[in-house]
Amino acid sequence: MTFNKNDINTIDEAKGYSNYYGGVLKPEEKSIFDSNLLKPNGTLDKTLFQDTAQLLNNWRESREKIKKEKMGLSSESHNLLASILKEQKAESIPYQVVNSLNDNKPVDKVVNQFEDILFAESDPEFDQKIEEAALKINDLKEKGEAIDNEIKQTVLETKVNAAAAALKKRS
């Protein structure tokens, strides 16, 4: 099954929901649903805890996707980043609640990791492959030049031998 925030109708369902990315929530992740921020005016707001569950799911998925990205982002990761940035820039309640997890600002951290990849000037593995390819190209160039020189020498020897033979015939 896939995550669907509309399947969650109560705080207990949000805490016990098994279709979050990566499976059931850890106890510290469940605790975010106890935040008073989800109860503006003292009343639990269903949209807020559903949106919080969505952001929590996106954050969990982002943590895993970021490990696989090298240089630039896949379209899926780009969409995750966009949805998380939207919440971050608005300083929405779901953002505040999820970002307070363990007081570690996990949403901000994953955004920074995505941005590091998105705006990276180079990828060390890619740079190494380019360097290896350049060495191979240089080696092939040198071998090609050696072959060209052999061909020129063979052609020259053939012409010299033909000229010598022609001179011998004349004499």
Question: According to the model, what pLDDT value does residue 143 have?
Answer: 93
The answer to whether residues 94 and 46 touch, using CB atoms and an 8 Å cutoff, is: no
If one compares 23 and 119, the residue with the highest pLDDT of the two is 23
Q: What is the mean pLDDT of residues 4-21?
A: 93
Give 90-123 as a 3 state SS string: HCCHHHHHHHCHHHCCHHHHHHHHHHHHHCCCCC
Per-residue pLDDT of 112-168, as tens digits, reads 888 887 776 666 677 788 889 999 999 999 999 999 999 999 988 898 888 888 888
Query: How far, in Å, CA of 75 to CA of 70, rounded?
Result: 13
Per-residue pLDDT of 44-90, as tens digits, reads 889 998 999 999 999 999 888 887 776 667 778 878 888 999 999 99
Question: According to the model, what pLDDT value does residue 73 have?
Answer: 72
CB-based contacts of 56, cutoff 8 Å, min separation 6: 20, 25, 29, 32, 94, 98
